Structure 1
């Protein structure tokens, strides 16, 4: 078999351990996997571990800690990187043949990321090997059959609760998600008891301090304005440059998820936060791990906090005993965890989904308040190759926020404004964690979301 022949050819370069005593010495683990044609549990676990690391970091390092963090910043030796690719591909073939599609596509995601890394670093691969990988990858994506998951009943309807204060603090991080949430609450006649508006002390792109020579209040106002313009850049740009796409996505959200024109306009208006809550407090922070944020949240009376973004919530915040953090994840938990789940859910389950849950340390871990699969949404827009990045940006500017807002709306009704919650633990049996989707897999996902043949 051609693949095994190539693996045997690369094996001599991987015989010596470069980091003895480290939990995962990549060279020696590759050698162990390459030296056995028939794999057992040890080999499966080693390739699973390495695949996840590559999906996250988009490259491969010479050693890792048990937590998954790299043990050093040294990349795996160039002569060993093709071997890592070959072993990932061997496991992809195994999973694909066994019908384990959810893990096969995760393995393919790692393979495609590693291929990009090898190409960027001018690591030469045999043409027949590249052809084999690319051919099987394309065949897999073209024939991929998603699960025929039924939608959750009675999900999309206009909902109104008795008007009044909502016993909830919104941890507001400027962006389409936060704006969709506030517009949704307002449309339901609800006002959170408090909004804590988080403003980044450093520029989101350059990481340099914003307005360092300005006095306090001017610096805060400038940073707030700069952050708003930066985060909503693609939303504003696409409304002007991709009017047809924007209008199609918007009209689908209006009709398919039952959000009125006025609610979406409200979210896009980027109004002053005082329109949504009488108690708005602004806090400038470095990031979510900033001690100033921990101190402020610790001082809150017992309440529930609606998380709207800004990064990974540190464990120390989630452990504040007086608070419960609520998050809406764009995937059905625990079946669709991780990143890019608006796309992964549609690709793997046949439709988009979302889950409202109480946050706990871990990736999308915590007790579920309400999980739902959304109705089929027909955007009626053709996709072309040049539109891939545009579609990705449009997804996160206009589509993903309203998936979340739809499930937030229904959760509020079912729990009477989070005052009567019957949350349940996630079952790990069906848990699958996805990572950021490679562009070639994005194409397959967008072909399903925008199912009009490309010219």
Structure 2
């Protein structure tokens, strides 16, 4: 798949952007360009990825937008924008002539960007439409030990786009290797990137309207009938404790694909 693409990449520096860049490199998929936003907290993710003994198995912390674009010879727009909605970013996106963008963070997209005819590919950390919200994977893990990521094109309504690809995963780890930081900086971006990888394998062109895959098996139950956003630190700690209690030393340690249909 070493060819120009109809897909541009809006990179919010951090663990998720690194995981997506790694997937694009592994698939030999060259976006048409990369628009790099500015994230003042990106160093937090990089520091953790460099210090955790298992992180390198999932995300290459030495990769960044600059080295990726140099090695692939694609344009890089290095901006000072800190939000997807910052004034001027829309003009930049339109000036590229690219209408389909891989989104890696930067806030909730305002209607003006959709009204401009742009579409944004997002990988959500939960099975849609059943599990919505930014931290829903914590709620799912606490609720029934389920973990998933879904690719979809975003709409003005949050987490309401038609699912394109859904992958399920399982965690087999114990404390102290397993922590909230590991969930945030490794598990979350990695499962999204793996779902992106599956989508890249299936799609030959992001410019065409391609039918969605067969919907995944339904969840046993949803953790909430409302979107799952802010989670209390005590519930996060309880989630980690519950996962650690499930640790099976006879199984491979880490995060793995899981087929819910079996």
- TM-score bracket for the superposition, by shorter chain length: 0.7 to 0.9
The separation in 2 between residues aligned to 1:247 and 1:341, in whole angstroms, is 26
User: Could you say if the C-alpha distance between residues 349 and 249 of structure 1 is closer, same or farther in structure 2, counting changes exceeding 3 Å?
Assistant: farther
What count of residue pairs does the alignment treat as equivalent? 237
Aligned to 1:180: 19
User: Could you say if the C-alpha distance between residues 299 and 393 of structure 1 is closer, same or farther in structure 2, counting changes exceeding 3 Å?
Assistant: same
The separation in 2 between residues aligned to 1:238 and 1:183, in whole angstroms, is 14
Give the number of the structure with larger relative contact order, counting CA–CA contacts within 8 Å between residues 6 or more apart. 2
Whichever of the two has the greater Rg, that structure is: 1
Aligned to 1:344: 139
The separation in 2 between residues aligned to 1:276 and 1:231, in whole angstroms, is 23
The separation in 1 between residues aligned to 2:62 and 2:140, in whole angstroms, is 26
Of 237, 240, 247, which residue of structure 1 is paired with 2:53?
247
Of 326, 331, 338, which residue of structure 1 is paired with 2:126?
331
Asked whether 1:444 is paired with 2:238, we answer yes
**CA positional deviation for 1:283:** 2.3
Equivalence map 1:312-391=2 (5 Å): 312-321=108-117, 323-374=118-169, 376-379=170-173, 381-382=174-175, 391=179
TM-score, structure 1 as length reference: 0.47
Equivalence map 1:41-120=2 (5 Å): none
SS at match of 2:171: coil
User: Could you say if the C-alpha distance between residues 276 and 312 of structure 1 is closer, same or farther in structure 2, counting changes exceeding 3 Å?
Assistant: farther
SS at match of 1:164: coil
CA contact (8 A) 2:49 2:55 kept: no
The separation in 2 between residues aligned to 1:188 and 1:351, in whole angstroms, is 27
Which structure shows the bigger proportion of residues in helix conformation? 1
Equivalence map 1:223-242=2 (5 Å): 227=40, 230-237=41-48, 239-240=50-51
Asked whether 1:167 is paired with 2:6, we answer yes
**CA positional deviation for 1:184:** 0.6
Alignment RMSD (CA, Å): 2.8
Asked whether 1:311 is paired with 2:103, we answer no
The separation in 1 between residues aligned to 2:62 and 2:158, in whole angstroms, is 29
Equivalence map 1:225-304=2 (5 Å): 227=40, 230-237=41-48, 239-240=50-51, 246-248=52-54, 251=57, 253=58, 264-265=59-60, 267-270=61-64, 272=66, 273-274=68-69, 275-285=71-81, 287-304=83-100
**CA positional deviation for 1:280:** 1.0
Q: What are structure 1's unaligned runs of at least 5 residues?
A: 1-161, 201-226, 241-245, 254-263
